[in-house]
Amino acid sequence: MAQLTALINAVKSLPRRVDTDAFRQFRHEIEGLTLLVLLRILEQTPATNRIAWVNLIAYIRDLAASFNVTEDDILVRVRSSAPHLLPQYNQVFNRNEPSPNNTDEDYIKLSNALGSLKKDNHALSFDSLCTFIESFTFDASNFTRVKNAKMYQVYHELSHPEKDEFMKAYLNFNYKKQLLVEEASQNIYKPISDSSKMIGFTALHKKWIQSWIQETSQRLQKCIENDAHFEKYAFIFNHLSPEHVVSLFLTHMLSSTVPKTHAKVFSLANAICRSLRKELTQADKVVFSPANLPIVLSSDHAMEFAYSIMNLVLEGCSLPETSEVNIQGDQEWERRVFRLSYAADEDSTVKFIRHGVIQIHPVVAEHFHIYQELFQAGSYNLPMLHPPKHWTSPRDGGFFSIPLPLVKSSEPNTSDAYMKKAHHTGQLSSVYQSVNALGACPWTINEFTLTAFSSLMKSPNAPGLPATLRPQIEKNTPKPKRASFACDDTYQSALASWRYIEAQNTRKLQDARNLRIYYTMVNRLAHGFAKRGEVLYLPHNMDFRGRVYPAVSFLSHQGEDLVRSLLMFWEAKPLGPHGYDWLVYHLANLFSKSKMTMEESKEFVANNRDAIVASATNPLEKDSWWLRADNPWQTLALCNEFKSIWSFSGGVSTYTSRIPVHQDGSCNGLQHYAALGADKAAAHAVNVLPEEKMQDVYMAVLGLVREKMDALQAADTEGSDEANANTSKSFIHETESTEGDTPKAQAALARMALPLLSRKLIKQTVMTTVYGVTQYGASKQVKRRIDEALDDMPSATMSSSERSRLASFISKHILSCISDLFAGAKLIQNWLVDNCTRCIQAYDARDFPNKEKVEFFSGAHFRPMMWTSLSGFPVIQMYRKRILRVISTPLQTLVLNDDARIAPIDELKSRNGMAPNFIHSIDAIHLLMTCLGAKTQNITFASVHDSFWTHPSEVAVLSGIIREEFARLHSSGIIDNLRQDLAYINRNSFQLVWVNIGEHTEFTGELKTLREGYSEVSAKKLSEKRLNTCLGLELRDNSRINALVDKFKPTVIWQPSASGSPFIYDESSLPQAVQTKISLKTHMPLLVPVKILEAPAVGTLDIQSVLESKYFFS
């Protein structure tokens, strides 16, 4: 009790006048934790000890009042962190809050069932969780006589009143089940210490594991007793035994390294920390509640602890000296199971950055790779069994117990601050409605495609599965020997080629292994939902641009073709008069990427009717028709649907279907640009204008590229065709440093490009140019297509460097042709980027509330680019440079981002991201508007960005909504609204500009005199340091500077980058460059109010025309 009294006195003595949000939040957490501790003591105090019991209740009330913590604040904390303390809460505050589930019969049964699947240390494998989902289901016997009927079939066969009654009872049961699934899914792993129960584990492997755990645990115990470094982590071992901790670490280290032979140390430590926190929370839900964990075990301390334990595992795990395993060439490993090494980051575009990695002994990897359950460790957000919790604030929605932000952000604290302001003003109401509607769409599993998927998974080389699962490996390539080569240069070249092939083979095998693990988990989870035809829901959240995504780890309709085919709508609806035609149209366009009209689609399906039926009847048949489709798995699902329709005894219009039909935008980003610029030519190219024939923007661009290549080839008249062909490749080498600017070189490259040009080659670049693809990115895209084309030509001999050179040449002309076709889009892009530069380089005194010193000449800026979309959603580009901090651990030095310090904005990323992010924010608004329109019309709606899904019978209705909302969106003056919004955001902001001293002597003279009079500036000579002080003063009161500018009206010059040309600073959308070099000797710096550029001129497109365009979304 003395320790408790000391704790409370310490909490009471916390300063209450420290005026920072971080400290207030810290104090609030400490006070909340203290009250929970007291409620826990009350729980342990016998009611028979009446005096102590009554005194403690009174004390808790008084303490809460002194902390200024409301009853509701305490209730929120109790519900989220310690719901078992609700009875004590009710006693203290005379409330009658119900305790959730504790006495509910269904919940108790479900909880016991889940508990029976857990291991002794409370661990749960992924397979066990799926077993729980499929085996413990709602009893529908009151609604159907069919035993083990699928839930969606039970629902379908009921009358409307009965459906409501069924769903109420079914979802009430599923809610309780969902709470348990959420808790269990956040710490999935089958501990390696449980190897005795792991299918397939041999006696040898069990022996290894036992020795590793025993040796490492003994080392850890010694460290706990003798090593001061571990003293601060002693509290962890009050809740988890050393053996438990070692087993957890060893499980994660094996699961991460066996599939790929190595794992990045930082990523591995992060995953272990998440799992460790879940284990601690399981051990004590009060002390280690989500709210308290950052205080009890901070991120830095958790990472340091993880690195320390990993170091012990590296030291404690070794292969025993035994004849049971042949270990050859082990000198470099010295029988260690793991070792620390360094490797290039596969996900980084920077070739020379290397990261610390944990490697596993190849013999151990080979022995353990068959244990699939070992590789499924992690924290997963699974599809829900109950409609998601409605979003009512930026941090309250989606899952019931898993924390989920409405907006995913790299700077959650900054993002939360802006989102809270938007929430309090009510401007997020339509966003909440839309995201809630998307999450409320019920789905179920398509058992037909799941069965085919399961069958094919049994054969690693089966067609229909992604090609990466069956990689083409160049086998038995002998390592070059020096003696076989005449000189060292040719030997080194051959050796480098061999190493490249070996690295590629290893990478392909690792990718195949990882993909198989992923598909195994998808398959298992789908079976869990499919066995009883369960309903499932996909909670959604958003990225910083307002784009929505299902917030699940896998099994969502935003997955790849195979995963999409596993999902269908829960509710079946009659096809009606036109639904069959839309299924026909959908099948034809899933089969081929070249869009077909309705008439062409009908002809296609009629001509392939026998193949469609055969595909559905025998989907595993070799060379089955569906395997030739561009989207084979969704095609297979449609084949089965048509087989069912054609064998249906009733009228086609009465056939009920669950298959979604998609309507996709015709290069949707360019459609938005065409509408923004009211550009008729661009609108025609992307089907915004009504036309009798569907326009293909990719073919339009391809035609322009071919014209340019023909013209370049015709310009070169020297030599015969044969001579030109022979010299083409040589010009690639000759022009590498000159960009191929000679007519002969250009002609040679054009001649090589023409046979390779295709719709497929240019499509990705056309699609992504609207989202800011660079010349480098476009070149990589084209290079991939060239590789694919030439790999199918055995006679092709073009080297990788030659292909890269040709790709750069082609991509440059693709981008040029797109600019020609979409000139209006380029104007808008430039306008967006130029305004972005002005905004992020602006200064506002409100950004420096504590009057910090502002470095005006450092080139560093700290305000992110932001704007408010028409939906009320605040878009904030969190592109910052990194500020690092270093933590020393026994394993290695850990370098982390320093989140406590604000890093400068990465201006290059901000400018490059502005145009694509703005277009993404607009297509996000169109999606949300369409979603609300569909909700108003009471039709099914789901989406994958610019692909909108509904039932076949509701396609026509949705088609009208899509067009109406697009016209309404682009009739709202988007660019003018953005300009006004940027002007409002920057209403108190200033730009650092310059005035030429020689050209404006009177103005600069008065300005100099004014500044010399500042009391903070003690000398007459205004050095850079003193000018910086002057600008800091003027940032807070710029009235006298503004008056001088109004009086003399000097030409002010702005230089947005140190290496770029300066411009006259005004509002013109066509900035005027100035030929001058700015320096403190020739120019005077000053601050002027930020000016937002005038909107660029637009065309004469009538956006209402889109209402009549049948190919706009199709």
pLDDT digits (tens, 9 = 90+) for 692-712: 888 989 899 999 999 999 988
Q: Which tokens sit at 691?
A: 């036309």
Query: Is the Cβ–Cβ distance between 446 and 575 less than 8 Å?
Result: no
Model confidence at 717, in pLDDT bands (50, 70, 90)? Answer: low
- Of 792 and 422, more confident: 422
Residue 389 banded pLDDT, cuts 50, 70, 90: very high
Q: What mean pLDDT do residues 486-493 have?
A: 88
| Pairwise CA distance, residues 835 & 1067, whole Å | 10
Predicted local distance difference test score (pLDDT) of residue 73: 81
| Residue 119 φ then ψ, to 5° | -85, 180
Q: Locate all alpha helices (DSSP H) within 293-425, ordered by sequence.
A: 293-296, 299-316, 362-368, 412-424
Give the pLDDT score at 892: 67
8 A C-beta contact, residue 138 and residue 147: no
What's the rounded mean pLDDT across residues 29-47?
A: 82
Least confident of 49-58, 526-535, 991-1000: 49-58
The rounded distance, in Å, linking the Cα atoms of 110 and 99 is 17
Structural domains in the chain plus CATH codes: 2-93 (no CATH), 192-322+330-376 (no CATH), 572-659 (1.10.287.280), 680-821 (1.10.150.20), 830-981 (no CATH), 987-1089 (no CATH)
Q: Which of 569, 566, 579, 556 is nearest to 636 (CA)?
A: 566
Question: pLDDT tens across 111-140, in order?
Answer: 889 988 886 556 788 899 999 999 999 999
- More confidently predicted of 959 and 121: 959
Three-class SS of residue 464?
A: coil
Please name the residues in contact with 328: beta carbons below 8 A apart, sequence gap of 6 or more: none
What dihedral do alpha carbons 440, 444, 445, 446 form, nearest 10°? -110
Q: What share of the chain is helix, strand, coil (3-state, %, to 5)?
A: 55, 10, 35
pLDDT, average across residues 715-720: 58
Mean pLDDT of the chain: 86
Q: In terms of pLDDT, which residue wins out, 567 or 2?
A: 567
Quote the tokens at residue 819. 């600019």
What's residue 600's pLDDT? 93
Find the length of the chain: 1114
- Helix, strand, or coil (residue 744): helix
Whether 349 shows a pLDDT value over 70: the answer reads no
- pLDDT given at position 121: 58
Confidence of residue 207 (pLDDT cuts 50, 70, 90): confident
What pLDDT, on the 0 to 100 scale, is given for residue 433? 96
pLDDT-derived band at 61 (thresholds 50, 70, 90) equals: confident
**pLDDT given for residue 738 in this prediction:** 38
How far from chain centre, in Å, is Cα 984?
A: 31
Portion of the chain with pLDDT greater than 90, in percent: 46
Give residue 312's pLDDT band: very low, low, confident or very high (50, 70, 90).
very high
pLDDT at position 125: 86
Assess whether pLDDT exceeds 50 at residue 1005: yes
The pLDDT value given to residue 535: 98
Q: What is the pLDDT of residue 796?
A: 66
- Residues paired with 874 in a beta bridge: 868
**What is residue 1's predicted lDDT score, i.e. its pLDDT?**
55
Show which residues are catalytic: 664, 763, 946
Predicted local distance difference test score (pLDDT) of residue 331: 67
Give the pLDDT of residue 405.
93
Beta bridge partners of 947: 664, 944
Half-sphere exposure of 1087 (CA within 13 A, CB side): 26
pLDDT(21) > 80: no
Q: Is the pLDDT assigned to residue 723 strictly greater than 50? A: no
What is the spatial distance between Cα 157 and Cα 152, in angstroms, rounded to a whole number?
A: 9
Q: How far apart are CA 1025 and CA 101, in angstroms?
A: 66
Query: Mean pLDDT, to the nearest integer, of 681-691?
Result: 93
pLDDT surpassing 80 at residue 375: no
- Cα separation, 425 vs 872, in Å, equals 10
d(CA 536, CA 570): 8
* pLDDT class of 258 with cuts at 50, 70, 90: confident
Percent of the chain clearing pLDDT 70 (strictly above): 88
The gap from C-alpha 542 to its chain's centroid, in whole angstroms, comes to 9
Q: Which of 723, 574, 578, 583 is nearest to 654 (CA)?
A: 574
The residue ranges of DSSP E strands in 793-934, in sequence order, are: 843-844, 865-868, 874-877, 884-888, 893-897
Q: How far apart are the first and last CA of the chain?
A: 72
Element at 992 (helix H, strand E): strand 989-996
| Alpha helix positions (H), 1013-1061 | 1024-1036, 1039-1048
Q: What integer is the mean pLDDT of 416-445? A: 95
Poorest-confidence range of 631-635, 740-744, 857-861?
Answer: 740-744
Helices within 735-884 (DSSP H only): 743-753, 759-769, 775-791, 800-821, 823-840
Taking residues 552-581, report their average pLDDT: 96
Q: Cα 561–774–818 angle (5° rounding)?
A: 85
Sorting pLDDT into bands at 50, 70 and 90, what band is 735?
very low
Could you give the 3-state DSSP secondary structure of residue 101?
coil
Distances in whole angstroms, Cα of residue 121 to Cα of each of 258, 758, 873, 968? 24, 59, 45, 58
Closest by alpha carbon to 193, among 129, 134, 245?
A: 245
- Strand-pairing partners, residue 992, are 1087
- Residue 201 pLDDT: 61
CA distance 485 to 991: 65
DSSP-based three-state secondary structure for 725: helix
Q: If you average pLDDT over residues 269-285, what whole number do you get?
A: 84
pLDDT reading at 45 higher than 70 = yes
Digit-coded pLDDT (tens) for 605-636: 999 999 999 999 999 988 899 999 999 999 99
In this predicted structure, which of 123-127, 259-263, 403-407, 640-644 has the lowest mean pLDDT? 259-263
Cα(114)–Cα(1038) distance, integer angstroms: 67
Selection from 327-336, 403-412, 494-503, 565-574 with the highest mean pLDDT: 565-574
Does residue 734 surpass a pLDDT of 60? no
